[in-house]
Amino acid sequence: RDFNERCAQCSEVNWGLTDGGRFYCRSCHNVTERTREVVNTDFITNSRVQTISKGLRKQEKNDGDCEWYICEGFQLVLKKQVEALEALGICPQMKDEVLCNFWRCYLQKSKQAYCKRPAGETVKALSVCESSTDVDSDPERPSLLRLLSLSESEGDLQTDCSFASSVSKVSENTSVYSGSVDGSLYLMKNQKEKLRMTMPMTLSFCYMALLWVREPITLSELLRFVVEGHIPYLNIYQHFPEKMKLCGLDLKVFCIESWPVYEEVFNKMHELAAFLDLPRFPDITESCFLHPDMLCMKYLMEANLPDELHIWTCRVVKKTGIGEVDFLTLIPGNKSTRKVKYDVLAAAVIVVVLKLLFLLDDHYEWLLSEFAEERNKSNTEGGPYFEFKKWYEVVKHSLDVEQKKLDEERAKYQWRCEKPLFYSVKNKSKVLKRRQMVVNLQKQFGKLSGSMQRAEKPNPSSFQLSWSEENTDGNCFHGHSLKGILQEKCGLLTAMNPDYWLCTVKLCNEKLCGHLAHYREVEFPQSYHFVLGLFSFLLRIQPSYIHDEVCMIEHKLFNKKLSKKLKYNSILKK
């Protein structure tokens, strides 16, 4: 009551005391460095003070392990992931000013922290042992891993996530054993109204924070950095401190033996944003990296396509209205707006432009290529004409090489890390001996086969395929001209091709079947399938998702003609 200063964060005067004697704001939970010296111990026993535990954990006398909860494990995972993103060059404010607030809001919404304790329930105040979690030592800066007051809420979460295959071998006798305090409770209880935290959701948190600060990283790039090992995700338990023992049921939560899936991370991000009741995200404007005009420029360079195509992509974006701020900006919980996949949308725009200019029907594009080849023989001025056939051969060769490398890397990937796992204390010594035996055998076979040690992972790059105009082999098509396929009409350059074929006449209900249109390779031309496959490799997603966006853009582009055709067909049926 004697402390009347206003909170530096929310300007309220509503202070409480932590167990460590520090003042904290009951409105925004901001903890200050100001402490109160207590002389009369009766004051502590007679007063009713809501506290946030900041003390050290109770440590077992035998091995010095500390108590920890599942949510603290996920908090450590988020901390490691955002630190990896900071190392990649994102703004440092994303950690404490954005992601930390999202995480606190999630803990409050899921009734794990920052909430009134349920009546009649045994509550255990939790805190993170700073020495065991490697917390930032700066007291002025709120750290993502400086935990709060957590309580065991009544319901917990569903167990619908897929677990590692090795975890299913755990016997019933050891199924209740875990290194965490609430491992069994976390998996056994059900509560449908809560969004249960999983490992893929950690990437959803990161992508949501990246989208909030509008960093130049798309979801496909984020997942690719995870697969390449630049962002901790697989074998994340090797980053856990020694005092946080991970075993038993904890492995079902943190042990992942599958690559992250684009759709799962994307959908969970939107569920999270709605669950947290977040406001409208910052606007995606034309100067933002996530705008289709910007992303189209990037993917045109990576796909080794002519720079002049960017003019056409901008025209398609403007004509269809998919570059409008209201269309691109995320509004959580708004079911009337479509969820925008920025990278997939930009790739689909390029596919539509290629169909407008080259038709991609396995016939017209080859005729244009022969025409451009003949023109290039007699062309002495300006840049060469773009040849679709030559571009196809060059890109297909590079794509096959990169795809083979990717398949080999995935086949050789070691799902087991150097830090061994054990499901019970009894099996710990056996597991350690087996792991040491495996390491020794690998070294011996490596010497016999003469295999080299695995090379260090390359530095992360936004481009998977690189093309340089300085090369004299003619494999770079960035500076090639489109004059051979364009004609001037009313002062504007238009395509010589007057035809266009639609992927589908009528769109499906995306909410019912999950797709706007169905994609089968045998039903479409091979040129169209190759272009989809190229961007499918670049984005690491299924071609059907790009096909969906292509159909959506086509219906926006030819809306008037389609409506007339549908009306005409309905009249004929009558």
DSSP letters along 303-319, please?
Answer: TT--TTHHHHHHHHHHH
Are 361 and 527 a contacting pair, CB within 8 Å? yes
* Single-letter residue type at 401: V
CA distances from 35 to 15, 39, 133 (A): 12, 13, 24
219 and 266 Cβ atoms separated by less than 8 Å = yes
In a domain, 437, yes or no: no
245, 278, 311 — which closes off a domain? 278
263 plus 351 within the same structural domain = no
Q: Are residues 310 and 263 in the same domain?
A: no
Name the amino acid, one letter, at 218.
Answer: T
Residue 388 region by backbone torsions, left for phi larger than 0, else alpha for psi between -120 and 50, else beta: alpha
Together in a domain, 505 and 559: yes
DSSP 169: G
Closest CA to 405 of 464, 446, 451: 464
Q: Which residues contact 161 (CB under 8 A, 6 or more apart)?
A: 196, 198, 199
> Same structural domain for residues 215 and 341?
no
Q: What pLDDT was estimated at residue 166? A: 35
Q: What's the longest Cα–Cα distance across the chain?
A: 100
Cα(first)–Cα(last) distance of the chain, in Å? 81
Instruction: Provide the number of structural domains found in the chain.
Output: 3
> Can you list the alpha helix ranges (DSSP code H) found in 33-161?
42-46, 70-87, 93, 100-109, 130-133
Contact indicator for 531, 360 with CB cutoff of 8 Å: yes
Query: What does pTM read for this prediction?
Result: 0.76
- 574 residues of the chain, pLDDT tens digit each: 667 788 877 777 888 877 667 777 877 777 776 766 554 444 444 444 443 344 444 444 345 567 888 888 999 999 999 999 999 999 988 998 999 999 999 998 888 877 765 322 333 433 333 333 333 333 333 334 444 333 333 333 333 333 333 333 333 333 346 678 877 777 765 555 568 899 999 999 999 999 999 999 999 999 999 999 899 998 887 888 878 877 777 888 888 888 999 999 999 999 999 999 999 999 999 999 999 999 999 999 999 999 999 999 999 999 999 999 999 999 998 888 889 999 999 999 999 999 999 999 999 999 999 998 888 888 777 778 999 999 999 999 999 999 999 998 888 777 766 666 655 556 666 767 777 777 777 777 767 766 555 556 667 888 888 887 666 566 889 989 998 788 877 777 788 878 888 888 777 776 666 677 888 888 899 999 999 999 999 999 999 999 999 999 999 998 866 665 555 445 444 4
Residue 451 lies in a domain: no
In a domain, 18, yes or no: yes
Q: Which amino acid is at 409?
A: E
**Which H or E run includes 492?**
strand 492-495
**Residues 208 and 320 occupy one common structural domain:** no
Same domain for 514 and 553, yes or no, is yes
For residue 147, the model assigns a pLDDT of 40
Same domain as 105, residue 210 = yes
Q: Using the 8-state DSSP alphabet, how is residue 331 labeled?
A: -
SS (H, E, C) 345-410: HHHHHHHHHHHHHHCCCCCHHHHHHHHHHHHHHHCCCCCCECCHHHHHHHHHHHHHHHHHHHHHHH
- 8-state DSSP, 259: P
Q: Per the domain annotation, does 287 fall within a domain? A: no
312 and 225 within one domain: no
The Cα–Cα gap between 117 and 52 comes to 12
Give 522's DSSP letter: G
Tell me the C-alpha to C-alpha distance, in Å, between residue 478 and each of 243, 294, 362, 487. Answer: 55, 16, 23, 21
Does 55 reside within a domain?
Answer: no
Query: Among all chains, which residue has been given the structure tokens 């004609």?
Result: 487
What is residue 450's predicted lDDT score, i.e. its pLDDT? 61
Structural domain span for residue 222: 68-113+195-278
Side-chain half-sphere exposure of 178, counting CA atoms within 13 A: 23
- Residue located via tokens 């684009």: 262
pLDDT of residue 234: 87
Round the CA-based radius of gyration of the chain to a whole number and report it.
29
Length of the chain: 574
Output the six-digit token pair for 261. Answer: 């899936």
239 plus 340 within the same structural domain: no
Is 83 inside any structural domain?
A: yes
Asked whether 352 and 443 are in contact (CB, 8 A), the reply is no
Q: Is residue 490 domain-resident?
A: yes
37-64 pLDDT, tens digit each: 554 444 444 444 443 344 444 444 345 5
Question: Is 533 inside any structural domain?
Answer: yes
Backbone φ and ψ of 495, nearest 5°: -75, 140
Residues 95 and 205 in one domain: yes
Handedness of CA 520, 526, 527, 531 (dihedral sign): positive
User: What is the Cα–Cα distance from 30 to 21, expressed in whole angstroms?
Assistant: 14
Looking at the structure, do residues 299 and 272 belong to the same domain, yes or no? no
pLDDT of res. 498: 81
In degrees, to the nearest 5, what angle opens at C-alpha 111 toward C-alphas 106 and 117? 145
| 268 and 304 assigned to the same domain | no
